[in-house]
Amino acid sequence: MFRLSYRLPTALGCLRHASSAAGEGQRTALYDFHVQKGGKIVNFGGYALPVQYSDQSIIASHLHTRQVGSIFDVSHMLQTRIFGKDAAACLESVCTADILGTPEGSGSLTVFTNEAGGILDDLIVNKVSEKELYVVSNAAMKEQDMGIIKAAVDNFKSQGKDVTIEFLTPTDQSLVAVQGPQVAKELSKLLAKEASLDQLYFMSSFITTLAGIPNVRITRCGYTGEDGVEISVESSQAQKLTESLLESGVLKLAGLGARDSLRLEAGLCLYGSDIDSKTTPVEAALAWLVTKRRRTTRDFPGADVILRQLKEGVSRRRVGLQMLGTKPPPARSGVAIFSQGKQVGQVTSGCPSPSAGRNIAMGYVAENLKAPGTKVEFKVRDKLYEAEVTKMPFVKANYYNRPKK
């Protein structure tokens, strides 16, 4: 039988930006609540956040998310609002999305790129209206991302364009992710009578009253592969919201440890580990983020490099990997990948999969080895272990997608 176990140092090893120095880092509005509920606090990207809670192991928390639903404090993420009739064009100048062509109330994943085609960060852009965008990007890249957006806005304003920005701080605005198959049912109990989640499809967003709290933004998205939402709420109301979500006893609190293994099973990248400024969307198997219209306009940073790669190919590619054999040790970030005695790549994320019951990973291999079923080897503690390239996600995605016409 495949046996899984996580200890706190192991969980931290999965998280590139985490440190066990619990006393360090900025506190979110829910910090005291986390401590009260038995949260084991670590420093993640400069914020004091729970890696797990005393009532559940990381594995139990992971499985509860997959089977029922969990609540995550993600208030460390950078939330930004961009206003003005030129807001969409302004943000398009630094990313690969077709924001102008996105319907109001919808959003998409995209990336900031540099002139070499490298990924500076991944972010979600919601088109609130023709004159307003709501953007969520990574905490670890907060200062960089604020600089990128501010420079784009300043450039447009210098040309007489209509665009302004507002960066929301965790002191003022919190972000709570609620993920899992029972989330919609539990959330519906707290919604205002006139509101419904039935038409709120994946990557859609709206403002409503939730748990008696007005002006709450609910976006149907997440970082687990499950149906779920991210809720932007005034920080003064964050604990009330979280307590209301917990009240029925169905949903449970979850931390960074479960969030990381969930996102890996879902085949989702962690910035700084699986993608970085030296990795292009094509190499990262994220070419779909370069939308059709933007490939035609060729007006985003690094467009020439990326479009050339789309035409001519690349030498390496991000792939899913699974270990073979009996009880192999997990392959963590940095493990070398071999084929026929030669190193052909490197693991960027890896852990035991609680859902699949095997050790999984993602990493980069030579382009000629990217096909699923290709056999490779991992060098773990100076010993080679069998593995193979496999499709991602490692578990079926359960997003609440719009029905196909």
Q: Which residue's entry shows tokens 């990948």?
A: 337
β-pair partners for 352: 359
Could you give the 3-state DSSP secondary structure of residue 225?
Answer: coil
The H-assigned helical ranges of 136-237 are 142-158, 183-188
How many whole angstroms separate alpha carbon 147 and alpha carbon 157? 15
Within 58-118, where are the H helices?
A: 58-67, 87-92
- SS3 category, 163: coil
C-beta separation of 265 from 352 below 8 A: no
- CA 115 to chain CA mean position, Å: 24
The CA distance from 47 to 170, in Å, is 10
What is the 8-class DSSP label of residue 310? H
Q: Is 230 annotated as a binding residue?
A: yes
DSSP letter string, 235-295: GGGHHHHHHHHHTTSSSEE--HHHHHHHHHHTT---BTTTB-TT--TTTTT-GGGS-HHHH
Contact assessment for residue 139 and residue 78, using Cβ atoms and an 8 Å cutoff: yes
Instruction: Please answer whether residues 85 and 119 qualify as being in contact, where contact means their C-beta atoms are separated by less than 8 angstroms.
Output: no
Tokens linked to 134: 């709501």
Q: Residue 403, preceding bond cis, omega within 30 degrees?
A: no
Residues of each annotated binding site: 230
Residues of each annotated binding site for substrate: 230
